[in-house]
């Protein structure tokens, strides 16, 4: 069965420290934990009565591990997934994209795409050919992020008809595409 202890060290490698890039829809982020996610957890890290970017700056890897376990690993019921690579790929998607990281894999699996991982979804995951499923998930994630980037470019071009390529790289999700793609492709299948 899959184990978060095998996955989380990989997340920290990619996640990095504190950033608050105005182009990133996640806003203030540290170790891949966004301000919105931290607010949903309800932890006022600095004890000043509000949960803001200053709280994100104080996050530790242990805080991020707790968020990952409660909000994402458990959401995918990943402890019940037989293959570590599949569990990591699925959790990685919901970690980065919210509900779509459950809904789209459910579509790939041919089960009800209700966004909730129940026994039907887990059974479908565990009864699938793991190598084939991993590749289907990888391709679906790549399509998802390319569609996301394409939409951000189209929206920006609509509101800024004179936009240059440099503008698109600076003001749209296009600037993240290379890193997102690399991250997806580096989570390789291991039997």
Backbone angles phi, psi at 30, to 5 degrees: -145, 135
pLDDT of residue 175: 85
pLDDT of residue 191: 85
Considering only the top CATH level, what class is 83-191? Answer: mainly alpha
In angstroms, the CA 172 to CA 136 distance is 27
Q: Is the dihedral of CA 114, 119, 125, 129 positive or negative?
A: negative
- First-to-final CA distance of the chain: 12
- Decide the pairing of beta strands 33-34 and 29-30: antiparallel
3-state secondary structure of 142: helix
CB 8 within 8 A of CB 33: no
**pLDDT confidence of 78, banded at 50, 70, 90?**
very high
Task: Return the domain boundaries, the chain.
Answer: 1-74, 83-191
More confident residue, 136 or 186: 136
Residues with Cβ within 8 Å of 172's Cβ and at least 6 positions away in sequence, in order, are 23, 149, 152, 153, 155, 156
3-state secondary structure of 33: strand
CA trace torsion 42, 45, 48, 50 (10° rounding): -30
Q: Is the pLDDT of residue 22 over 90?
A: no
User: What mean pLDDT comes out for the span 44-71?
Assistant: 93
How much is the pTM?
A: 0.87
Q: Residues 142-189: pLDDT tens digits?
A: 999 999 999 999 998 999 999 888 888 888 888 889 989 999 998 899
User: What mean pLDDT comes out for the span 45-72?
Assistant: 93
Closest by CA position to 79, among listed 11, 1, 5: 1
Q: Is the dihedral of CA 109, 110, 115, 116 positive or negative?
A: negative
Task: Supply the angle between the helices 100-109 and 84-97 in degrees, to the nearest 10.
Answer: 130
For residue 30, list its beta bridge partners: 33
């Amino acid at each position: 069965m899959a184990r978060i202890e095998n996955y989380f060290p990989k997340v920290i490698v990619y996640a990095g420290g504190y950033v608050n890039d105005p182009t990133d829809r996640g806003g203030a982020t540290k170790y891949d934990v966004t301000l919105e996610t931290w607010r949903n957890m309800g932890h006022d890290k600095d004890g000043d009565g509000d949960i803001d970017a200053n709280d994100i700056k104080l996050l530790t890897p242990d805080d991020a591990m707790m968020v990952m376990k409660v909000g994402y690993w458990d959401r995918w019921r990943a402890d019940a997934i037989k293959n570590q690579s599949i569990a990591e790929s699925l959790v990685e998607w919901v970690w980065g994209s919210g509900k779509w990281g459950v809904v789209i894999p459910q579509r790939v699996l041919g089960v009800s795409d209700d966004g909730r991982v129940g026994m039907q979804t887990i059974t479908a995951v565990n009864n699938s050919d793991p190598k084939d499923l991993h590749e289907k998930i990888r391709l679906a994630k790549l399509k998802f992020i390319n569609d996301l980037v394409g939409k951000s470019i189209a929206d920006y071009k609509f509101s800024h008809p004179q936009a240059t390529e440099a503008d698109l790289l600076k003001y749209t999700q296009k600037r993240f595409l290379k890193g997102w793609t690399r991250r997806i492709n580096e989570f390789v299948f291991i039997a």
